[in-house]
Every structure is written in structure tokens, then in C-alpha cells.
Structure 1
Amino acid sequence: MIEHLREIWANLAVSCIFAAVCGSLSYLLKVEEGKQFKWTEFMLHTVISAVCGLITYTTLRNLAGFDPDVCGAFCGIAGWMGTRLLRVIEVRIQKNIEGT
């Protein structure tokens, strides 16, 4: 039982770290394209990406029953586009609220 829980937590941790790394790389690509580097933005981007990875892993593993490796791959994608996707969703919701 305890070994099973360790495996679950390890998979979750690795997926979140992978999402954070992908989010960091996404931010660094923006810097490479000309955006000014700021430590606060870098850290915020990294943390938001890790949270997106956590949400993705939990959703895919528990609701869809995907294999942990597949969940990890999707966590990387979620980390890469996490802040962008959240911003798109935010703008869309704001438009819907203001339109009503």
C-alpha cells in the first residue's frame, strides 16, 4: 500500500517538474525572441506551468484513466502552453461576461 502511494506521488512530482521545466523553456524562448528577462516573471511562469501540469495529470489520470507516462507527456504540453492557454480562457470568459 505504501509503495503504491510512493509511486503515485513520484509520478505526480515528475509530471509537475516536467511541466515546470517546459514552462520555463517557453518563457526563455520568449526572451530569445526579444522579450526582456525578469526573474519574477520567470518564476511566476514556472509555477503556473507546474500547476497546469498538476491539473492535467490529475484530470487525465483520475478521470480518463490514462497511463502515467501519457499523463506526463500531456503535462509537458500543458506546462509549455499553460500561461498562454489560461490567458486565452480568461479573455474569453471576460468577453462572455461583458457581452451579457
Structure 2
Amino acid sequence: MGEAVDYSEFSKIDLRVGKILSVELVPNSRKLLKLMVDLGTEQRQILAGLQKWYKPEELVGKLVIVVANLKPKVMGGLESQGMILAAPCGEDQKPVILTPLEPVNPGSKVC
């Protein structure tokens, strides 16, 4: 396990349910997918290294867990405005996208 953090540090992370609206391959990348995700009050562009394991059409309409307050990061010339949670996180292991057990509204806070 990683280093322990206290609750005040953990509570800074804003986890939200998002609904994937569209997915595109990122040009000149064998790894990245560009996802447009509905977070209830806004739509975000999120880049994810899932191309090896998922076809874009498999992800459209899926509910996912998003780190919503992550600082934007440029990858492949595009800005990513969040992170989709998945496990496991190994190089050669298929990342399984974390999703709610039952349908909930996009933008719902994960607690």
C-alpha cells in the first residue's frame, strides 16, 4: 500500500460520476483516447491511455468515476481536464474502468 494520508488531504479530491458522450482516437498516438464526459453542469475533455484495450464505441454512454479537480495536463498536444479511474494500473494489464453499480446522475459526488 502507498503512504497514508489523513482525511483532510483525501477530502481535497473531488470524485464525480461522469457519462461518456463521445470517444475519438488521438491522432499520432497508439495509446490515448479523447473522451468528452458529461459532469452534470459541464462537459470535459479527458484523455486516457486506453486505446490498446477499448474501442471508442464500447465506451460511449458508460458511467465512469472522474477526478474532477485535477489540474489540466497537455498530452499528445491536447489538454486533459480530469482523470478516469481504472484498476489495475500495470503496464501490460487491461485497465478495468471503475463504474457505479447502479445508474446515477452525471455530476453526482462520490462519497
TM-score by length of 2: 0.24
Q: Larger relative contact order (C-alpha < 8 A, sep ≥ 6)?
A: 1
TM-score by length of 1: 0.25
Q: Hey, which of these two has a bigger chunk of helix by percent? A: 1
